């Protein structure tokens, strides 16, 4: 199965750590990072898509917990 996640966080070290954890669990960057201004909170937010292939497993919507992989 191929898994997809979109990681988001405030534009600070937390975002980099979140992406680094995913990379160390075998996820791969998918596309370029994105940035957006959160008008309500008056802060910048980052986003990065990541994907991971898991052989021998079947994706089950609602049951597959992406963070566990």
Domain count, the chain: 1
* In-domain check, residue 20: yes
Amino acid 21: pLDDT: 95
Q: Which long-range contacts (CB under 8 A, 24 or more apart) does 6-15 make?
A: 6/47, 6/48, 6/49, 6/50, 7/47, 7/48, 7/49, 7/50, 8/45, 8/46, 8/47, 9/45, 9/46, 10/43, 10/44, 10/45, 10/46, 11/35, 11/43, 11/44, 11/45, 11/46, 15/46, 15/48
Identify whether 12 is part of a domain.
Answer: yes
**pLDDT one digit per residue (tens) for the chain, 69 residues:** 999 999 999 989 999 999 999 999 999 999 999 999 999 999 999 999 999 999 998 888 888 888 788
> Quick one: pLDDT at residue 67?
79
- Is 15 inside a domain boundary? yes
Residue 11 is assigned to a structural domain of this protein = yes
């Amino acid at each position: 199965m191929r898994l997809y996640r979109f990681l988001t966080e405030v534009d600070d070290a937390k975002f980099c750590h979140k992406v680094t954890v995913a990379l160390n669990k075998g996820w791969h960057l998918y596309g370029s990072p994105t940035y957006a201004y959160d008008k309500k909170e008056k802060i910048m937010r980052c986003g990065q898509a990541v994907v991971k292939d898991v052989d021998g497993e079947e994706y089950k919507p609602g049951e597959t917990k992406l963070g566990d992989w």
